[in-house]
Amino acid sequence: MSALSRRTMLAFGLAACAAPGTVARAAALPRVAVIDWALLETLLAMSIVPVAAAELVLFRAVAVEPEVPASVVDLGLRGMPNFEALRMARPDIIFNSAFYTQIDPKLRLIAPVETLSIYARGGRPFTRAEEAAHGLATAVGRPEAAEPLIRQTLATLERCRADLAARPRRPVLVINLGDPRHFRVFGPDSMFGEVLTRLGLDNAWTQNTSYSASAPIGLETLARFPDADLIILPPVPPDARRLLPGSALWQALPNVRDRRTYLLGSMNPFGGLPTATRFARLLTAALLTPGGNALG
């Protein structure tokens, strides 16, 4: 995460000088554009509505929440946004992450760019998500907006932890199906892995995964975790949904046979604090539902 740059502060100062009658309002409410989804959801959760953001149709389908107001201009692809639409949105500041730094030179032709990255090798996503919330709030002149979001997130996780306290002590394996024969797993260094720890749950996958999910792994590897509750994150490929119920290997897995598999609602695997909250809520509701619900 980077602090608010001198260039951005200078830009805000020049804007204030150009409009002396609206100095306080301009300084407090800059026009914000955002490329990265984790930053977008964090802004929205702090009631800071950007004028423009990237891939909103897909964001609404994958991240689901927070709700994106209709007023936000869709800039198209995160890796190659519509620069003309961005220019027409007249942002005072553009928020980006390390995932998309290749477009920073073009973004800077339109407005100052601030890079805040929740996901970085060797980092802790949850802590960096808290830092990103503070960085975003400070950059838009509303430093007080971060703490309520952080407190709300921690309170939700604490409630979920309490709700799960009486659950049998079984490890949890969080995966995403690639096809009927392969899966990806989320390790302790992912956002989901960190949330598991905060919920008092053991991640059955103990190896790090470079802050995201591992490379595709053969489905037979699931047999190494017979005691784990199996948590499946969307999307589930159509061929996997169609073929797994009839797969002898799948049906032989103790997790599946004992109906300890759970399919959660969609969420952003590279999300911020709102994703952490959504994962905790949906996971808790699933684990407290007898009989599982996934691809039996």
Q: Please tell me whether residues 29 and 131 are part of one structural domain.
A: yes
Please tell me whether residue 17 adopts helix, strand or coil conformation.
helix
Q: Please tell me whether residues 122 and 12 are part of one structural domain.
A: yes
User: How many whole angstroms separate alpha carbon 242 and alpha carbon 276?
Assistant: 30
Q: Please tell me whether residues 24 and 98 are part of one structural domain.
A: yes
Is residue 161 a part of any domain in this protein? no
Q: Please tell me whether residues 175 and 139 are part of one structural domain.
A: no
Q: Contacts for 109-112 with beta carbons within 8 Å, 24 or more apart?
A: 110/83, 110/86, 111/11, 111/33, 112/5, 112/7, 112/8, 112/11
Is residue 139 a part of any domain in this protein? yes
Q: Please tell me whether residues 204 and 264 are part of one structural domain.
A: yes
pLDDT at 20 over 60: no
Q: How many domains does the chain have?
A: 2
Higher pLDDT, 213 or 218: 218
User: How many whole angstroms separate alpha carbon 148 and alpha carbon 77?
Assistant: 31
Q: Please tell me whether residues 137 and 188 are part of one structural domain.
A: no
Q: Which of 2-11, 114-123, 155-164 shows the lowest mean pLDDT across its residues?
A: 2-11
- pLDDT tens across 246-291, in order? 899 999 999 999 999 999 999 999 999 999 999 999 999 999 988 7
pLDDT at 12 over 70: no
Which is nearest to 172 in space by CA: 90, 112, 219, 232? 232
Is residue 1 a part of any domain in this protein? no
Q: Please tell me whether residues 43 and 90 are part of one structural domain.
A: yes
Is residue 69 a part of any domain in this protein? yes
Is residue 296 a part of any domain in this protein? no
Which pLDDT band, with edges at 50, 70 and 90, does 211 fall under?
A: low
Q: Please tell me whether residues 19 and 138 are part of one structural domain.
A: yes
- pLDDT tens across 186-207, in order? 999 899 999 999 999 999 998 8
The pLDDT, as a whole number, for residue 208 is: 76
Q: Please tell me whether residues 185 and 283 are part of one structural domain.
A: yes
- pLDDT tens across 226-247, in order? 999 999 999 999 999 899 988 9
Q: Please tell me whether residues 79 and 23 are part of one structural domain.
A: yes
- Taken as a whole, the chain contains a residue count of 296
CATH code, 110: 3.40.50.1980
- Tally: H helices and E strands in the chain: 13, 10
Contact call for residues 37 and 116 (beta carbons, < 8 A): no
Q: Please tell me whether residues 140 and 10 are part of one structural domain.
A: yes
Higher pLDDT, 294 or 236: 236
Is residue 185 a part of any domain in this protein? yes
Is residue 157 a part of any domain in this protein? no
Beta bridge partner(s), residue 91 = none
Q: What is the mean pLDDT of residues 105-128?
A: 93
Entry pTM = 0.89
Higher pLDDT, 287 or 19: 287
Of all helices (H) and strands (E), which one includes residue 188? none
Domain, as residue range, for 119: 6-144
Spatial strand order in the sheet of 182-185: 217-218, 182-185, 172-179, 229-233, 261-263
The pLDDT, as a whole number, for residue 153 is: 98
Is residue 238 a part of any domain in this protein? yes
